[in-house]
Structure 1
Amino acid sequence: MSGTGHPYRKTALSPVLLAVVAWAGDASAQAATDAAASSLSQLIADRFDRIGEHLGGLAHALPRMPDYLHEVGLSFEKAAGATSPGRIVVVSLLCLAIGALVEWGLRRALRDLSARRHAQPVTTTTDRLAVVATDLGLELGGVVAFALGAFASLLAVGRPGPINEAGSSILVALVWLRLVLALLKVLLRPNNRPDRAFAALDLEQPLARFWYRSLTAFVGWLALGWATIVSLNAFGMPQDGRHLLAYLLGIGLVVIALVIIWHPTSSRPARTGHGNDGYGNGSKWLASLAAVVFWTVWAINAMPAFWFLTVAIGLPLVIGIGRRISRHLLRPAGSEGGEAGVPSIASVIVEQGLRALLVGAAIWLLLWGWNLDVGALAAQESVYARLVRGALHALVIVLAADLAWGLIKAMADNALARAQASPDVSGDEARRRARVRTLLPIGRNLAFIVLVVMAGLMVLSSLGVEIAPLVASAGVVGVAVGFGAQTVVRDIISGMFYMIDDAFRVGEYIQSGNYKGTVESFSLRSIKLRHQRGPLFTVPFGALGAVQNMSRDWVIVKEMIGITYDSDVDKAKKLIKQIGIELSQDPDLGPSILQPLKMQGVEQFGDYGMRIRTKMMTKPGEQFVIRRRANAMIKKAFDANGIRFATPKVQVAHDAESATSAAAQLVVKAAPEAPH
């Protein structure tokens, strides 16, 4: 249901539901129109019969294509009458020139508007959207002006008949091609100009130029083929001949698609350094196979399967592109293109709304492609009709739940991004951020579970499943699970009370029994502690017990220092006080010292010297660095001022006469004996 990843993974459920709608709807319509084809086997047989008839018509039309074309030529000569083909071409070009002149006048009149819009600084997302909207409006406005001028000229000089109908179809195809090119120009910005920063897709300039040219070739060939077939229909070519020619022109679309798929540029990642979102040879072979299958299904006139494949493959792609455009255009001002980050709430609303519109358009396309009457379908009470209605309701519920989860997740992610720890934030604000980082993930997970359960029950209800027994059974199962999983329940309840008591937060250092470390994260039943030496402990809340939090408010550091009895205690106290002042004035350590270092006095007398005690108060976690620096400074100051540290000494007492006798004996033993 949520956010991020490959577009196919994000919309994996939609094609499945649409498949149910398509299959059930077609079966329902077939049952309503032909009672003999009510069974599935008869329906399949009837479908194959239609495909066979269609292929037979194409085989019949293939050897007659020269005759068909000859008849089209005769029809053209009859419609032209005394008008020569050259004059028709000149008049057509004149209409196009008038349309281009009208477009040029509009662009010249609005040139200052575009210049002013681009001259203004872009400091916010709204400014970026305004520039994109202005450019898109100018491009589409120019195409509309061209269409109005060209169509007005055609109506003024033309006359009703096949030639005028063919000219209108060619002009319509040209206008549609120009509209697509205008949209691609604004979205991709293929030229290496300063306005590349306003591209709606985060593509490198060579890749953007490749896709612009490739899509131009594909859409241009498609528009040319459509205009050709419509023009031939105007001049009376039979349907089988038009179909055969259309399929032959469709091979050109397959060739263009294969060239796009296997071109080296299409495998490049969208952004250098942002991962490889291109595709390898395996994906290329699958895409090539899909292109051939599309053409084959279309050529054998299996239109229900064709429209289903169009929706099942095209819908996730279009949704993925829309998601990418919305996140790129609505990214925060100043962020780099292609930069991964938390999507804004506005981009999520646009993305989810666009997804709902695209899914609705896909449903309409299936209904239209399968010749389904929605009104008649709603009035039927057959199993297929109820299944279709249930699938549509389930799809609406899933889209609504997806929208709700997307908004919840976006708000939670943005709040977590704002609550990240920062060295510039301290005090109450730092504690508030830590609490947000602690509680918000748990709330987000709970919201997801509740949303999934509610949406699942509503989907089952829309499909005709009685959910009351399920709810009752779930209650009984819940009681049984509660008895059987008391430890898990105890862990979850203990975790809730730890959260209510605010016993710890993410990033704090705690100790509980034999476990200690920094809180990295936690789930509903356990907490993860990272020890300072690296090991990660996963501790259930029920086994946590009493918690010692070492990261709250302040820490008092007390040290015992031994000095000799002949040391000057007053001087030692002054030196330690001076060291405390110097530490407080240190730009790095000073902000972490709440009370400066000072000597509290002589704590006790020992065997080797006096023991004095020092004390200071610091922020949690900073005491270790400050204590090491303080010890080094105390050692240096004491050495410089004659204050000696007390160290153990061993003294050996002995009798002088015994020592002299023992030494004499050693000398005698060491002397050599006299020769006999």
Structure 2
Amino acid sequence: MTPRCLLLLIFALLMPFQSAMAQAALDPAAQPASVAAPPAEDLRKLVDLLQRPDIQAWLQSQTASRQVETQGSAEFANAREIIVGRLNAARAFVHDMATVIPTLPAELDRARVALMTEMRDQGSFAAVLPLIFFLTLGFGLEWLYWRATSGFRKRMIARHLDTVDDRLRAAGSRILYGLGVLLAFAVGSIGAFLLFAWPSLLEHTVLAYLLVFLAVRLTLVAGRIVLAPGAERFRLMPMATRTARFWFFWSAVLVGSFAFGHFTFQLLPTLGVGREANYIVALASGLILFGLAIVALWRCPTFDGLDLVNRRHRVGTVLGTLYIIANWLVALAGVAATFYIGVVLLVLPIAISCVNLSVHHIMRPPGTIAADEGAPSLTGAALERGLRALLLIGGAYLIASQLGLDFGALAARDTMVTRFIRGLLNAFVVVLLADFTWRMASAWIDRKLMLTEGDADESRRSARLRTLLPIFRNMLFVVLFAMAMLMALSSLGVEIGPLIAGAGVVGLAVGFGAQTLVKDIISGMFFLLDDAFRVGEYIESGSIKGTVESFSLRSIKIRHHRGALHTIPFGSLDKITNYSRDWAIDKIMVSVTYDTDLDVVKNTIKEVGKELLTDEEIAPFIMETLKMQGVEQFGDFAIQIRMKIMTKPGEQAVIRRRAYALIKKAFDTKGIKFAVPTVSVAGGGDASNAVAQKALDLIKPPPQTEQAAQGA
């Protein structure tokens, strides 16, 4: 399930709870009212009555019957009644808002009068002077910062962006510079704000719209870093300049509209505006915000800047428009939290997509315009998964704050629904952290495995890594999955102690019932600890020999040199003979005639050994070249000469074939004859022919006839 679908599912699950919270918050009848205390004499009589056993028994019976009746009525409540109740509540809320609209101008004018009265009491000049100093100091510090960092900007502009490291350093430098600009203005303005004693209402007003201004400035700084509308070479997202300029402008407009409406909604109660009137102002600001969002959605260009999005993706544009309208209509029905939750669920997938595109664009190989499918980058995985996890966790906590959920200790007033939602959000965070850890470890393992696929020497040195890392990855996945599941269940309120105890008992029973499986796993662990074989090595076990292709926790796969694939459990492996370690010595035997000069043979074989070392194809695999060890034995018709050569494992067959060819050529040049069995026959006639035939039969027996084969 994608993060966007998961967020929409959470939104759908929280809708009824949001509605109930909002209606309860806006219902005056739900607010506690103060009641006068009864006389002391009446309270004393009541206490005396409650102490009587018959009264207590009667109260308990009445309470039990009332609980049964309440439970029965709740069980028989159908969905239609619930829906009708919600619609009636929404209709009543809209009616109440409509009755307040005529009084809205008077409410806002009262807030203005209160603010102006406070400023007149303070003195107009005394109230405006701190504001002027406030702005002057903020922009002054920003200008000083801009002058002080002129050299840094020149070096940053002249920086090369050819490699991934260069692009990462450039992005980091631009982020630090942008944050420095924002921090300079913030320090100056907030410092000036703290220096003066502001009137109460003016202080709240200035602080609210200072935060609006900082939100817009932060958006512009982020836009210059990510979109870079005036510097395409520094752009983090792969898009055309037209598209970058469009979203640079509209992102500031949308963020500014949202921040203005949000902080105004929080400021108006301080100025004396009623709750219903304040909510109407919030609806109006939300309507303006969603109207701007719809305009931006229908006017935005595609990434290549050649067309509009609504022309290429008409269905997606229409669905996005309907989502925005539906979100505002739900807020109109009185569910205030839904407005903010809808904004979070709308912005969060867009932010995640922007992060993924930016990371892939930064991590692209040098000289390319897109990321490849090569070795995964640990830095790229950390940036992508880490930023995505931070965005999702931040979105989850924003949703929780709108629902009024406390992630600390459970309070006595918490309902079952509240605890379930809190546990669901905590489990969501646990899953995200587990996913981040797994992606980081998996990227590191995959990169190590891909980097080991080099030449023969590198592959041989890294064979142990290629053998152990896949098993380590599988074990890590199982451990992370089990830990994440247990922590998620614990967050949801499930007691994991009995589960762990039950898993131990089940594991013990499985261990007794699957002794062969346990034997295979333990044997495999000891084989790996002993480093008996690695992937790519040629081994022999019993009657099976071949190249190790892969193995799991239980078995090993061996490919025979003729193509057969053997899958052998570790517990069934006999002694292991490894033909691929360190070096291999190959023995070569040749037979020469008895009249051969052995000194000439020795010198000739030495020349062949030198010639093998000059062969560029096989010379790197020769550790000790060909040399003559001496006479092995005197045969019936030849002298057997024994030679030896030391090669790297797996290369001896190729080198042996090349050595045979050079020996044949060198012996022919030196006049050295190879000995072959011969028969000399004296005499003539039939006797000589019979002797010759007998000699041939001794050398090569005749094939059996069909009758002889059947008799055998």
Say whether the fold is shared (TM-score over 0.5): yes
Distance 2:140 2:497 in 1: 69
Counterpart of 1:378 (choices 396, 407, 411) is 411
Equivalence for 2:226: 187
Calculate the aligned-residue CA RMSD, in Å: 5.8
> Partner of 1:520 in structure 2?
549
Asked whether 1:570 is paired with 2:610, we answer no
Distance of 1:98 and 1:477 partners within structure 2: 70
Corresponding position of 1:299? 329
**Which deviates more, 389-398 or 592-601?**
389-398
Offset of residue 20 of structure 1: 6.3
Q: Secondary structure at the match of 1:596?
A: strand
Partners in 1 of 2:660 and 2:284 — Cα distance? 93
SS of the equivalent of 2:494 reads: coil
2:316 maps to 1:257: no
| Equivalences for residues 25-36 of structure 1 within 5 A | none
Distance in 1, Cα, partners of 2:159 & 2:324: 47
SS at match of 1:247: helix
Closer, same or farther: CA 285–534 of 1 in aligned 2, 3 Å: farther
Aligned counterpart, 1:132: 171
Cα distance, 1:525–1:40 mapped onto 2, change above 3 Å: farther
Whether the 8 Å contact between 1:557 and 1:623 is mirrored in structure 2 is: yes
Describe the shift of the 1:22–1:603 C-alpha distance in structure 2 as closer, same or farther (beyond 3 A). farther
**1:439 matched to 2:476:** no
Q: Which 5+ residue runs of structure 2 have no aligned equivalent? A: 32-69, 117-133, 193-198, 689-712
Whole-Å Cα distance in 2 between the matches of residues 535 and 286 of structure 1? 53
Q: Residue 447 of structure 1: CA displacement?
A: 2.7
Structure 1 distance, partners of 2:508, 2:472, is: 24
Give runs of aligned pairs for residues 117-128 of structure 1, distance below 5 A.
117-118=156-157
Q: Write the deviation string for residues 533-554 of structure 1: whole angstroms up to 9, x where unpaired.
A: 6665544333443333211121
For 1:113, the equivalent position in structure 2 comes to 152
Equivalent positions of 1:238-249 (< 5 A) are 243=283, 246-247=286-287
1:387 partnered with 2:420:
yes
Please report how far the alpha carbon of residue 437 of structure 1 lies from its aligned counterpart in structure 2 after TM superposition.
2.6
Distance 1:463 1:212, change over 3 A: same
Q: TM-score, normalised by structure 1?
A: 0.70
Task: Give the Cα–Cα distance (whole angstroms) in 2 for the partners of residues 650 and 26 of structure 1.
Answer: 110
In structure 1, C-alpha distance between the alignment counterparts of 2:680 and 2:7, rounded to whole Å: 91
Q: CA deviation at 1:191?
A: 4.5
Residue 366 (structure 2) pairs with residue 338 (structure 1): no
Residue 624 (structure 1) aligned with residue 657 (structure 2): no
Distance 1:52 1:650 in 2: 120
- Per the TM alignment, residue 49 of structure 1 is displaced from its structure 2 partner at its CA by 3.3
Whose relative contact order is higher, 1 or 2, with alpha carbons under 8 Å and at least 6 apart? 1
Distance 1:541 1:266 in 2: 60
Partners of 2:529 and 2:15 lie apart in 1 by: 51
1:532 Cα deviation from its structure 2 partner: 4.8
Instruction: Kindly provide the amino acid, as one letter, of the partner of residue 253 in structure 1.
Output: A
Task: Give per-residue Cα distances to partners, 1:208-260, cap 9 Å, x unaligned.
Answer: 65245235335425645876999999999996587468536624422432454
In structure 1, distance between residues paired with 2:493 and 2:380: 35
- Contact 1:421–1:434 (CA under 8 A) maintained in structure 2: no
In 1, are the aligned partners of 2:258 and 2:289 still within 8 Å (CA)?
Answer: yes
| TM-score of the superposed pair, with normalisation by structure 2 | 0.67
How big is each residue's C-alpha offset from its partner over 1:512-558, in whole Å with a ceiling of 9 and x where there is no partner?
45654433332211223345566655443334433332111211111
Query: Would the alpha carbon gap of residues 57 and 255 (structure 1) be closer, same or farther in structure 2, given more than 3 Å must change?
Result: farther
1:34-57 Cα offsets, whole Å, 9 max, x none, are 699998957654443344456668
Give SS of 2:495's match.
coil
Q: Measured at CA, do residues 401 and 210 of structure 1 come closer, stay the same or move farther in structure 2, by a change above 3 Å?
A: same
Q: Given the alignment, which residue of 219, 243, 250 partners 1:217? A: 250
C-alpha distance in 1 between matches for 2:214 and 2:414: 45
Establish whether residue 491 from structure 1 lines up as the match of residue 524 from structure 2.
no
CA change 1:28–1:550 in 2 (3 A) is farther
Residues 583 and 374 of structure 1, relative CA distance in 2, 3 Å threshold: closer
1:663 maps to none
Closer, same or farther in 2 for the Cα pair 1:209/1:471, shift >3 Å?
A: same
Bigger shift: 444-453 or 626-635?
444-453
Using the TM superposition, name which of 518-527 and 37-46 deviates more: 37-46
Q: Which runs of 5+ in 1 are unaligned?
A: 1-7, 81-94, 154-159, 269-278, 660-676
Closer/same/farther in 2, CA of residues 384 and 513 from structure 1, 3 Å limit = same
Is 2:618 aligned against 1:589? yes
Residue 48 in 1 paired to residue 78 in 2?
no
Distance in 2 separating the partners of 1:657 and 1:586: 55
Residues 166 and 230 in structure 1, CA contact (< 8 A), matched pair in contact too: no
CA shift, 1:412, in A, is 4.3
The residue type equivalent to 1:478 in the other structure is: G
- Post-superposition Cα deviations, 1:413-438, rounded to whole Å, max 9, x if no partner, equal 56556666555659xxx54x322332
Note closer, same or farther for the CA distance 1:459–1:250 as it changes in structure 2 (3 Å cut): closer
Equivalent residue letter for 2:466: R
Q: Is the 8 A contact 1:28 1:385 kept in 2?
A: no
How big is each residue's C-alpha offset from its partner over 1:462-505, in whole Å with a ceiling of 9 and x where there is no partner? 33323343334323433443455444333322211211221101
Mapped to 2, the partners of 1:405 and 1:636 lie a distance apart of: 60
Match of 2:694 in 1: none
